[in-house]
Amino acid sequence: MTARNVLKPLVRAAMVTALIIILGLFPGIPVGIIPVPIVLQNMGIILAGELLGRRYGTLAVGVFLALAAVGLPVLSGGRGGAAVFVGPTGGYLFGWLLVPLLLGSLLYHLPVQPTRHWWWELLIVWSVGIFFVDLVGAGWLAIQAHLAFSTALISNVAFLPGDLLKATFAVFLSRRIRKIVHLEAGGANQ
């Protein structure tokens, strides 16, 4: 393996981390019913799994979350610090860390190739990037905010329209990028 092949996916991971941080410049929009805002950063998390696969996608998201944990203001609204991880949105952040692992595994490591059909890819991205994250997020929110799990979960309906749009756009963008850039050499298959 050449130095170029080692560096390429690392540079791509760094670019995706930067993209997630940039998406955080858009302040979160409060929904009122629960203390969890509508954000754009979850689109970047999906892109990490889509474009980088499980290993480098997890690296990109892991670095982003580590920066947030040490206190850098990289989360929407300029937030950061370890306390965020035990706050109302902690479950969503934990879910984000698992998204590239799950997405990468389902998209690139099955005998079938879901990426050959856009509707399969969309279904997988919706399931992992939206429904899985909402499940984990609502689970922790229920504990943290002393809510019934069903109440916490149903509140996530407020995110659905936006999340469906963001996830669909991420799939569209990833499919275009994959056509232009050959990610197999050191990205999506890793």
Closest distance to ligand BTN from the beta carbon of 88 (Å) = 8
Nearer residue to ligand BTN within complex by CB, 73 or 114: 73
Nearer residue to ligand BTN within complex by CB, 61 or 188: 61
Dist. CA 186–CA 41, nearest whole Å = 24
Dist. CA 67–CA 90, nearest whole Å = 15
Under DSSP, the state recorded for 91 is H
Q: Which residue is nearest to ligand BTN (CB)?
A: 89
Nearer residue to ligand BTN within complex by CB, 17 or 76: 76
3-class DSSP state of 76: coil
Closest distance to ligand BTN from the beta carbon of 109 (Å) = 25
User: Which of 49, 66, 42 is closest to 13 using CA atoms?
Assistant: 49
Q: What is the contact surface with ligand BTN in residues (CB under 6 A)?
A: 36, 38-39, 42, 75-76, 84, 89, 92-93, 133, 137, 159, 162-163
Using only C-alpha atoms, the chain has a radius of gyration, in whole angstroms, of 16
Nearer residue to ligand BTN within complex by CB, 13 or 141: 141
Closest distance to ligand BTN from the beta carbon of 15 (Å) = 21
Closest distance to ligand BTN from the beta carbon of 126 (Å) = 12
DSSP-assigned letters across all residues of 96-109: HHHHHHHHHHHHHS
Closest distance to ligand BTN from the beta carbon of 106 (Å) = 19
Paired residues of 75 in beta bridges: 79
Nearer residue to ligand BTN within complex by CB, 11 or 33: 33
Dist. CA 48–CA 50, nearest whole Å = 6
